[in-house]
Amino acid sequence: MKVYKIGDNILKYRFGTPFPTDAVVKAGEGIEKYSIDYFQIEEKEELKLLYKMAPKDIVFGLGENQRGINKRGGKYISFCSDDPNHTPGKRSLYGAHNFIIIDGMENFGVFIDHPGKVVFDIGFNHKDYLEITIEDKNFDLYIIKGNSPREIVSSFLNIIGEGYVPPKWAFGYQQSRWSYPDAEKVEEIADKFIENNIPCDAIYLDIDYMEDYKNFTVSEERFPNFKEFVEKMKDKGFRLIPIIDAGVKIEDGYEIYEEGVEKGYFCVNSEGKPFVAAVWPGKVHFPDFLNRESRLWFGKKYGKLIDCGIEGFWNDMNEPAIFYTNRGIEQAIEEAKNAEGKNLNIDSFFGIKDEFRNISNNIEDYKSFYHNIEGKLVNHYDVHNLYGYNMTRAADEGFKKIAPNKRFLLISRSSYIGMHRHSGIWTGDNHSWWEHILLNIKMMPSLNMCGFLYSGADTGGFSDDANGELAVRWTQFSIFTPLFRNHSAKGTRHQEPFAFDEESNSIMKEAIKLRYGLIPYIYSEYMKAIINKDIYFAPISFEYNDEYSRRVEDQLLVGDSLMISPIYEENSRGRYIWLPEDMLLWKAKDYSERKYEILEKGHRYLDIDIDEIPIFIRKNKVLVLGKHANTVDDIDNEELVVIAFVEDKASYTYYDDDGRSLDYRDGIYSKIIIEIEKREDDYQINVENHGNKDIKRLKLEIVDREGKVTKKTINI
């Protein structure tokens, strides 16, 4: 074991010779240290880290996973998995996010930088024990000390590098479906938005836009004159977001396949031949994204669609998902044939059934192909969790070559720590279950802690059928998630914001309009979080450390000023809320109508009608509000409503930039600093404009502790 000092409060313990994951961007200096803080080590076939938790310790983190914001009680297995049946017993979803924070008797963060299987048993086997098991003994263990979870998260974000920023239009509403299969349908959907006057910035193209599911092709039959169509749609206000899958179809004459084989860009089997698996296109090869050359090659291919005017992509199936391999299906067919005509006993019957069920995403297949890392073959299984990350890195690196200073929308299904520098993620194939709204709520801060700020779930649920009320309540939460996308599966009920009864549709529309009104706040908070290595969604205990705040799992802090309390139960017309301090409540319906109410610190039941979205403004904090338009680009930025809950002094820094370039990285952005100080009968207001050229007026609505609203207009 070697020990490195990465920062004042961060040590890296190196076990064996870890595979370089590029998760962490900061190197450190070797120091002399022979023991590990906090943990006991148990070394048998696998390596185990053991920590005894105190009864009130909370464990945060693990990004995309089941269960609570507090991960105690569960067992979680980091092994990126395409398993759409997200039941509470599942231990692996699409991502591998090996970062946790222990908050209690001791305060520290732990990151296991290892691309293979890692098991976190957080009080499952024994309620008091945290047990981390690493199958392979080559890994880096980072331990981050800090005084608070927020400080620890910030330190962690600091060593894994600055997060991905999408174009500003990607904060608009996005509509998806597997699939809108042709140009006609896509246009019909777009027209419905226009007709109903519902804001929307993007429409997704799921797998059916391609020719036989071949990456970087477009079906001429279903999408003739694609470039023109992209332009036409953009003129209507909609960007199209095509999907790209990991597998490359094996088909003679298909350029990408042929090039890949010729140049050796694909993963190989034990005989050194391109590995064959079957996914949507039928038989495919998997690009060797862990190989730099392959990555460069694949990344450039995005240019084909970018040349057609495309500005955003979603990378899918990149765990990588495997439907079947010849090995798997032959084995299963063999078993089935052996059973023919026999009076099967039940074990044999279930054996065959399982054989067919387990053909997909089979570990044996993952163990049977290799990556070429600088001339050395590395078994895929050992580095499995890096695959989706590196596909997405390939795309981002490609974009940077194609249009170095342009922001693209990019989201990926599979991920590993560090991928947040390249893209956002959506949380995969969830269900139209009320339980999955709650899971979405709980997952957001955990994802943020692992760097994934641009994230969101399939609003309305992917599998199964949504009803109007579920779509409404989910939308009312998703207006706060940076990625705000409604997506659903083939064969399920349509769930666009015009697919239900009149009342539900109209409530969804109002919620989406509110989202656009909130973009000045959401974008400003998002960008400040990126720049300051902070998070956008936080558990309320990150700011309030009282006993009740530490227990809350269904309220979130959104940026610096807001707390939300989404509804995630059917037939509900209210819910219980813990207010850790006095807050200003705005029950938003039509967002242009604002009635304020001061709620006192404490527990309470709040009536929340089906069309209401409660927004809590924290004490001495400020919400800025713009006006909606049908696209983000069309938002009129002349006037900003500034809602402040002022006990003594509140200040807000409103961030903005061009929304399209990476210039913000060079400090090219504007700020308006607003300070409001309560005087005896009035407020002293200070506004400093650092470079903002759009905003002409601030319309202040200042609410004091007694609920008195003072309105002022300030010209800039």
Residues in region 44-73 near a second copy by CB under 8 A? 58, 67-68, 70, 72-73
Contact between 179 and a second copy (CB under 8 A)?
Answer: no
Alpha-carbon distance 552 to 549, whole Å? 5
From 468-476, 480-488, 518-526, 532-540, give the range in contact with a second copy by CB under 8 A.
468-476
To the query of whether residue 374 is one of the catalytic residues in this protein, the response is: no
**Nearest distance in Å: CB 596, a second copy:** 22
- The answer to the question of residue 352 lying near a second copy (CB under 8 A) is yes
Stretch that binds a second copy, among 120-128, 168-176, 611-619, 648-656 (CB under 8 A): 120-128
Among the listed ranges 81-89, 103-111, 515-523, 589-597, the one in contact with a second copy (CB under 8 A) is: 81-89
Task: Give dist(CA 545, CA 288) in Å, integer.
Answer: 46
Touching a second copy, residues 421-450 (CB under 8 A): 431-435
- Residues from 299 through 318 that contact a second copy (CB under 8 A): none
Helix (H) or strand (E) holding 478: helix 468-478
8 A C-beta contact, residue 626 and residue 695? no
Are 52 and 105 within 8 A, CB to CB? no
> Is there binding between residue 88 and a second copy (CB under 8 A)?
yes
Binding segment toward a second copy, per CB under 8 A, in 403-411, 415-423, 512-520, 566-574: 566-574
* Residue 162 annotated among the catalytic residues of the structure: no
Question: Which residue stretch of 104-112, 602-610, 651-659, 687-695 sits at the interface with a second copy (rule: CB under 8 A)?
Answer: 602-610
User: Tokens 């060797």 appear where?
Assistant: 288
Rg (alpha carbons) of the chain, rounded to whole number: 26
d(CA 631, CA 337): 58
Among 49, 159, 317, 470, binds a second copy (CB under 8 A): 470
Name the H helices within 161-291: 183-195, 226-236, 255-263
Task: Give the one residue of 258, 553, 675, 677 binding a second copy; rule: CB under 8 A.
Answer: 553
Amino acid at 375: G
Among 76, 169, 180, 578, binds a second copy (CB under 8 A): 578
Distances (CA, A) of 391 to 275, 352, 426: 17, 35, 15
The answer to whether residue 169 forms part of the interface with a second copy (CB under 8 A) is: no
Decide: is 329 part of the binding site for a second copy (CB under 8 A): yes
- Tokens of residue 514, six digits: 């509110």
Distance in Å, CB of 137 to a second copy, minimum: 27
Closer to a second copy by CB, 17 or 345: give it. Answer: 345
- 325 contributes a contact to a second copy by CB under 8 A: no
Q: Nearer to a second copy by C-beta: 27 or 346?
A: 346
604 touches a second copy (CB under 8 A): yes
For the segment 278-297, give every residue that binds a second copy (CB under 8 A). Answer: 278-283
Smallest separation, CB 353 to a second copy (Å): 5
Give CA separation, 647 vs 584, 703, 707, in Å.
11, 8, 10
Q: Tokens 């074991």 identify what position?
A: 1
Which is nearer to a second copy, 176 or 463 (by Cβ)?
A: 463
Closest CA to 265 of 391, 150, 454: 391
Q: Which amino acid, residue 480? A: F
Please classify residue 259 by burial: count the beta carbons closer than 10 Å to its beta carbon, then call 0-12 exposed, 13-18 middle and 19+ buried.
middle
Q: State which residue, 585 or 646, has the beta carbon closest to a second copy.
A: 585
Q: What are the structure tokens assigned to 85, written together?
A: 């049946």
For residue 604, which of 619, 595, 620, 616 has the smallest C-alpha distance?
Answer: 616
| Identity of the residue, 127 or 708, whose beta carbon is nearer to a second copy in the bound complex | 127
Structure tokens at 712: 């002022």
Say if residues 320 and 387 touch (Cβ distance below 8 Å): yes
Q: Is residue 85 close enough to count as binding a second copy by CB under 8 A?
A: yes
User: Closer to a second copy at the Cβ: 269 or 710?
Assistant: 269
Sign of CA dihedral 600, 606, 612, 613: positive
Whether 609 sits among the annotated catalytic residues: the reply is no
Choose which of 464, 582, 633, 639 interacts with a second copy (CB under 8 A). Answer: 464
Distance CA 636, CA 218 (A): 35
If binding is defined by CB under 8 A, does position 611 make contact with a second copy? Answer: no
Residues 126, 273, 693, 697: which binds a second copy (CB under 8 A)? 126
Decide if residue 709 touches a second copy (CB under 8 A): no
> What is the total count of residues that contact a second copy (CB under 8 A)?
76
Question: Is residue 569 within the footprint of a second copy (CB under 8 A)?
Answer: yes
Q: Which is nearer to a second copy, 255 or 570 (CB)?
A: 570
Residues 372-431 interacting with a second copy (rule: CB under 8 A): 431
Q: Which is nearer to a second copy, 273 or 573 (CB)?
A: 573
Kindly name the residue from 103, 208, 429, 534 that is annotated as catalytic.
429
DSSP 426-454: E--S-BS-HHHHHHHHHHHHHHHHTT--S
127 binds a second copy (CB under 8 A): yes
How many CB atoms are closer than 10 A to CB 695? 21
Which of these is catalytic: 64, 103, 206, 316? 316
State the pairing for strand pair 613-617/562-564.
antiparallel
Report the distance separating Cα 682 and Cα 621, nearest Å: 17
Name the catalytic one among 319, 560, 581, 612.
319
Q: Closer to a second copy by CB, 18 or 84: give it.
A: 84
- Cα(172)–Cα(515) distance, rounded to whole angstroms? 8
User: Which are the contacts of 688, defined by CB distance < 8 A and separation ≥ 6?
Assistant: 671, 672, 673
Residues annotated as part of the active site: 316, 319, 429
